[in-house]
Homo-oligomer: A and B are copies of this chain.
């Protein structure tokens, strides 16, 4: 969280922040509560209509934060039935309320109670998410004190403000949207996310919120987003470090003109799944594009592994290797380091069946450099801002794709700053 606004990442989407249309049944507000710094948006409130389906995925860290533990409890209660009335999500930046002991639980309780009171809903239906520094007490009273203003400011078209309020070291706010035809009427999906460092499976973004007016049964929605999360947020990595606060919450209000989707076999479920996937993948890619100090966006696609788990191991071993990532930063087509990362991954691999490609260029095959490979071509390719590394293990049908960025001096500068 820099004091002076850092320059926007060179990998930021060219079009800037997208126009996020209203989602029927959802309203947003944002405010400057001074959680850590004065004069910037740092708290957001989302109000979600009664009757909505809610689902979530959270960090699996053994030291996860008080807000994460609260949300897990909330969703478990919702899953067992009994949610009457609407929902709220309160999220703040500046302080993650992680590793704050009993004070952390008290801060969650205070925030939840204030939002419940302001919106007239049960406390158990208020989700909370916090991001920022770990281990310092969260001044919840500052957020509580803004709750009236937040409630009064709720508007259908304020998602962009909410997206900005959850930023920490992010250099740009991250939003995505899609329309999907679900028979009867179209549904809208809107999402926003924040994340820049401490990004790795699972999950790869610290906070992401997705809203749709589609009507979909809660358990089906949960199954859907757990699976999509595994192929989107859990497939991006900046530094291999996993946050104590990672939170994805998806709300479906059911306000679109459609019959609810209640069965996985319903063809509309597949259409909704595809549209949610697009939005979540877009957000996940934006998180990588805002990776601290990043100058290259890198896709690592592994094929031919013994199984999917092995493919993922190899892809993440490459994507997390400091030596691969620094070579990319230096525009060095150092494929030897990719061989190294394959070798250390723990996945089954046969050196002599390995094929490595940079974009369309075959660099290495059959256990050695390809006869057709010219170093000048590799070096020219590495100067691109968007890179594709392909690895075929030649063993089976397992495949996985992950996305990462390079490791630059700037990453070290950002993170070696006193208490970033």
Contacts and interface: CB of A to CB of B under 8 A. Distances in A.
A322 B197 CA distance: 10
A93 interface: no
A330 B416 contact: yes
Contacts of A345: 62
Contacts of A339: 63, 98-99, 134-135, 244
Interface string A381-418: 00000000000000000000000000111011101111
Nearest to A238: B322
A181 interface: no
A304 interface: no
Contacts of A322: 239-241, 322, 407, 411, 415
A412 B415 contact: no
Q: Chain A interface mostly helix, strand, loop or mixed? A: loop
B416 A349 contact: no
Interface residues of A, number: 71
Given A63-B354, A368-B100, A417-B332, A340 B412 contact: no
A342 interface: yes
Contact of A351 (B62, B327, B368, B407): B62
A369 interface: yes
| Copies of this chain | 2
Nearest to A200: B344
Contact of A369 (B136, B344, B366): B136
Given A322-B241, A322-B411, A411-B322, A343 B135 contact: no
A341 to B, nearest CB: 7
Interface in A57-76: 59, 61-64
Interface in A322-351: 322-323, 326-327, 329-332, 334-337, 339-345, 347-351
A418 B332 CA distance: 5
A146 interface: no
Contacts of A104: 368
A133 interface: yes
Given A329-B412, A330-B417, 13 more contacts: A61-B344, A62-B347, A63-B342, A99-B368, A241-B321, A241-B322, A241-B344, A243-B340, A326-B416, A329-B416, A330-B415, A332-B417, A379-B418
